[in-house]
A = this chain, B = another copy of it.
């Protein structure tokens, strides 16, 4: 009897050990395939260099939709389709220009760009004095008298001591998003916002902004200034508070246009009704080519499905890739996807987003029940050979967060965050800033987590 029990233990242990070996061997194959025989870098080269910046509603965004559909169709998935969605269309126009005038005729040009959604200046530009503030409290304290007829210059820098640069971004982005609305209510003629960038350099960083409920005629132009430009303006204001700032831009809001989410899927072999989603957003800002934001997430998500095919792993659950449209200025693609999914009663057991740049993967931020989080954290040792260590509770991403239910798993890939805001929404977010291996490791890390969720069926 004892002997039997002993043998049983041996057999069970050995079966368990074999199962674990299979799991770690599959993960090894995923990483090896991504690094040796990957497609993500080549795809991104095309999207970035042959198509380029893909602002919602633009011709390039439409080209990107067609490209995404073609590439997914070339993978011979079970199904590829476009999901129509109306998106905002804002155009940058043909000029954006600013200078600081310290005394009549003495001007210094500074690098600026219009914020996405901003109205234009009058055709001849706007020239006015400047009040510098660090936050809305300072602005309100100044009041109408000090602000009316002037530019408001929001100059609160990102906090350098935050190791998580996304937290530093969150701590500043209200200036960009709501600064114009707040300043307009006090009678300002325009706003200049310090770029969301931890470096001192000459790139202005655009991004979304909103006028809230402000009537059309009360809206004022809003532009970002490079961090070097912000430092210069601030120090010149200290010397001469009466200097004037000149801004000229002819950006424009147009009527909404039809665009698409691009979707493809591999049907699950045993639980086809359970959907595991991977995704990034296909639109980008227009200054660079959107390689990190979010070309990287797009090609990594596509690569997850290709890696599964390449290693011959047929998922038990349906694996769906969604290339979301219009994350940057409206999230209309994510809203439409979620609405339709809920209408159809689709069950998303897992959704993983990559929208934090194509840098070396550090791990995941996970939004789920404490029990499922704990279960996922048990997989940490499987990721250690690949230098992936972070499995923390936290937000998933702007495009998948609406899919949350009481018990599903949402997650965001978390790459190393130090360089992201060097490029974010700026003209230097281009393909040359992508490292092939870092991009590929991100795709393999995503595929490995999807595989584990499918294999163990959380």
Closest-CB distance, A387 to chain B (whole angstroms) = 6
Report how many residues on chain A are interfacial, defined by Cβ distance under 8 Å.
Answer: 28
The stretch that binds B, out of A30-38, A79-87, A138-146, is: A30-38
What is the CA–CA distance of A299 and B390 in the complex, to the nearest angstrom?
Answer: 29
Asked if B438 contacts A163 (CB within 8 A), the reply is no
Cβ-defined partner of A389 (8 Å) among B389, B438, B441: B389
Asked if B362 contacts A387 (CB within 8 A), the reply is yes
Decide yes or no whether A436 CB sits under 8 A from chain B: yes
Decide yes or no whether A136 CB sits under 8 A from chain B: no
Which positions 362-406 of chain A face chain B at CB distance < 8 Å?
A: 362, 385-387, 389-390
Closest-CB distance, A166 to chain B (whole angstroms) = 12
B residues less than 8 Å from A213 (CB atoms): none
B residues less than 8 Å from A164 (CB atoms): 387
Asked if A35 contacts B160 (CB within 8 A), the reply is yes
Cβ-defined partner of A387 (8 Å) among B31, B161, B199, B390: B390
Decide yes or no whether A236 CB sits under 8 A from chain B: no
Asked if A161 contacts B199 (CB within 8 A), the reply is no
Decide yes or no whether A21 CB sits under 8 A from chain B: no
Decide yes or no whether A185 CB sits under 8 A from chain B: no
- What does the 1/0 interface line of A43-57 toward B look like (CB < 8 Å)? 000000000000000
Decide yes or no whether A310 CB sits under 8 A from chain B: no
Asked if A198 contacts B437 (CB within 8 A), the reply is yes
B residues less than 8 Å from A385 (CB atoms): 163
Decide yes or no whether A336 CB sits under 8 A from chain B: no
Asked if A418 contacts B390 (CB within 8 A), the reply is no
What is the CA–CA distance of A389 and B389 in the complex, to the nearest angstrom?
Answer: 7
Q: Which residue of B lies closest to A386 (CB)?
A: B163
- What does the 1/0 interface line of A410-452 toward B look like (CB < 8 Å)? 0000001111001000000000000111100100000000000
Asked if B435 contacts A418 (CB within 8 A), the reply is yes
B residues less than 8 Å from A161 (CB atoms): 31-32, 35-36
What is the CA–CA distance of A199 and B437 in the complex, to the nearest angstrom?
Answer: 9
Q: Which residue of B lies closest to A199 (CB)?
A: B436
- Of the candidates A385, A387, A438, the one having the most CB atoms from chain B within 10 angstroms of its own CB is A387
13 A-B pairs within 8 Å (CB atoms) are namely A31-B163, A35-B160, A36-B161, A160-B437, A163-B385, A163-B387, A198-B437, A360-B416, A416-B416, A418-B437, A418-B438, A419-B438, A422-B435
4 smallest CB-CB distances across A and B, nearest first, come from A389-B389, A32-B161, A418-B437, A35-B161
A contacts, CB < 8 Å to B: 31-32, 35-36, 160-161, 163-165, 198-199, 360, 362, 385-387, 389-390, 416-419, 422, 435-438, 441
